[in-house]
Structure 1
Amino acid sequence: MMMQEQIREEAGGKVLFDAALAGVDGDWFDPAFWRDRGALQVQGGGRGGVAMIDTPTGACVLRHYHRGGLVARFSRDRYLWTGEAHTRSFAEFRLLAHCAGLKLPAPEPVAARFCRHGVFYTADLITRRIDDARTLAQCLADGRLDADLARETGALVARFHREGIWHADLNAHNVLVTSEALYLIDFDRGRLRAPAEAWRLANLARLRRSLVKLGAIERIADFQAAIWGPLVYGYERTLGA
């Protein structure tokens, strides 16, 4: 069943949320709102601007969109306005809702917001929290990345690719591993694409570069045969299923 959207007008912007929820407004995107209620669990710094919050709908993750790279020196969290549907938060919310409709393992969207600032805007997103999870990068660092986990990772990516879902930043930090399932997270700038081998292979190559950058070749003897081969096998088997 596809999620039903609802949009609330706020001063200077709009809030998009799951119509099944009640009471969602601009306050939900302010960490201080949750802190005052004893519902702010963790607030991290860095580029992600992530806070763990306990909401009336359950445990969630609040993320303020921040720029990375050189452009962050000039504009830390403001993006050029090109229309409501193109805001980072609304686009990611809707892509995640699409994933949920397909029963793909990704965070479930709860609410998204943008605030206009002249020709720029800022954005925020709230998703349901995936508990008791480790990133694939952490698994590698802890010596837990083996052929079985590699195959599962390949199968995970293939499930999204099979539906034409392109992840803009497919790396080992954006694969979550729990005792029951694997998930892809952080779909900022992701989008639906027509089936094509070129973008699928480029997406996989990005994941491989991430693992190599994290020292997989040095940590794992014969990385190509022990890890990457099984990962590609799991990917191809699932993609063709």
Structure 2
Amino acid sequence: MVESEIVERSNGSAILVHPDYRERVTVDWFDPLYWGDEARPVSSGGRGGAWFLKADSADLVLREYRRGGLAARVSRKTYAYTGENEVRSFSEFRLLDNLYRMGLPVPKPVAAWYRKTSPLQYQAAIIIERLPETVPLADLLSELEGSAWEALGRLVRRFHDANVRHADLNCFNVLVRGGEYFLIDFDKGCIMPETSSSDWKSGNLERFARSIKKVGGEAVQARVWDAFMTGYNGSRTV
């Protein structure tokens, strides 16, 4: 257990809470209806199930874990329970907490929740701090110049040099604020062993290239990729 998590249990639910929010977070926080007008749906990217929250002076994001593809036809919000350490919200909370304390540009985790719906199934959600005044990269593909793409390449290389594998590196999971860049949504992400093959890094880059092409078109992907790779290949420090 990392030092900045607290486990609390009540009424069949379990939550991890960052110490900065220890006296505030309850299970109710994971219900968007609890927030009333203080919850606003996130519309850009993803599968739905995410809301911007206003908790006193804190701007937060609540995200439910939802399936995509064929699995969603069976159960959109329920996952197989194989032990608490494997719960997706808890895993993402712990990874984000590690990355945030390492100084990497990610949102700060606030709390993670899950509830067993049967002995073999659970539902889950996570709350993070909202990164203010940021815009998804998907909204800026045609606007960013070569220097911005070089900076993005350095960003991804910084994570790779720290052996951080993002499981879904795409244009919606990169946020932009002026000349700053952040990665979000680390569901199923991990820190890879030092001895692991570098194939996962190539896979990350290929996935990102496909996302740029899908969202912006082949011409945009062709225009920006050399600059991105120049930044990626020139940055070697964490």
Shared fold, TM over 0.5: yes
**Cross-structure match for 2:202:** 201
**Offset at 1:3?**
5.5
**Offset at 1:173?**
1.1
For 2:201, give the aligned amino acid.
R
8 Å Cα contact 1:48/1:65 also seen in 2: no
**Cross-structure match for 1:49:** 49
Q: Name the SS of the counterpart of 1:227 in structure 2.
A: helix
CA spacing shift, 1:81–1:3, aligned 2, 3 Å: same
| Cα root mean square deviation, aligned | 1.8
**d(CA) in 2 for partners of 1:48, 1:63:** 8
Percent identity, aligned pairs only, is: 37
Structure 1 moving runs of 4+ over 3 Å:
none
TM-score by length of 2: 0.91
For 2:235, give the aligned amino acid.
T
**Cross-structure match for 2:229:** 232
**Offset at 1:240?**
5.8
For 2:177, give the aligned amino acid.
T
For 1:95, give the aligned amino acid.
L
For 1:234, give the aligned amino acid.
G
8 Å Cα contact 1:3/1:18 also seen in 2: no
**Offset at 1:214?**
1.8
**Cross-structure match for 1:127:** 128
Gap runs ≥5 in structure 1: none
**d(CA) in 2 for partners of 1:20, 1:139:** 33
1:162-181 CA-partner distances (Å, limit 9, x unpaired): 11110000011111110141
8 Å Cα contact 2:90/2:113 also seen in 1: yes
Matches within 5 A, 1:207-226: 207-218=208-219, 220=220, 223-224=221-222, 226=223
**d(CA) in 1 for partners of 2:86, 2:55:** 27
**d(CA) in 2 for partners of 1:56, 1:116:** 30
8 Å Cα contact 2:87/2:114 also seen in 1: yes
8 Å Cα contact 1:161/1:239 also seen in 2: no
TM-score by length of 1: 0.90
**d(CA) in 1 for partners of 2:176, 2:3:** 25
**d(CA) in 1 for partners of 2:217, 2:150:** 16
**Cross-structure match for 1:33:** 34
1:108-152 CA-partner distances (Å, limit 9, x unpaired): 100000000111000000000012211111111xx2132111111
**d(CA) in 2 for partners of 1:228, 1:180:** 18
CA spacing shift, 1:240–1:96, aligned 2, 3 Å: closer
Q: Name the SS of the counterpart of 1:8 in structure 2.
A: strand
Q: Name the SS of the counterpart of 1:106 in structure 2.
A: coil
For 2:215, give the aligned amino acid.
L
**d(CA) in 1 for partners of 2:230, 2:237:** 11
**Offset at 1:57?**
5.9
**Offset at 1:23?**
2.3
Matches within 5 A, 1:35-184: 35=36, 38-40=37-39, 42-44=40-42, 47-56=47-56, 58-118=58-118, 119-140=120-141, 143-184=142-183
8 Å Cα contact 1:176/1:183 also seen in 2: yes
1:27-47 CA-partner distances (Å, limit 9, x unpaired): 111111111xx422x124772
Q: Name the SS of the counterpart of 1:20 in structure 2.
A: helix
Gap runs ≥5 in structure 2: none
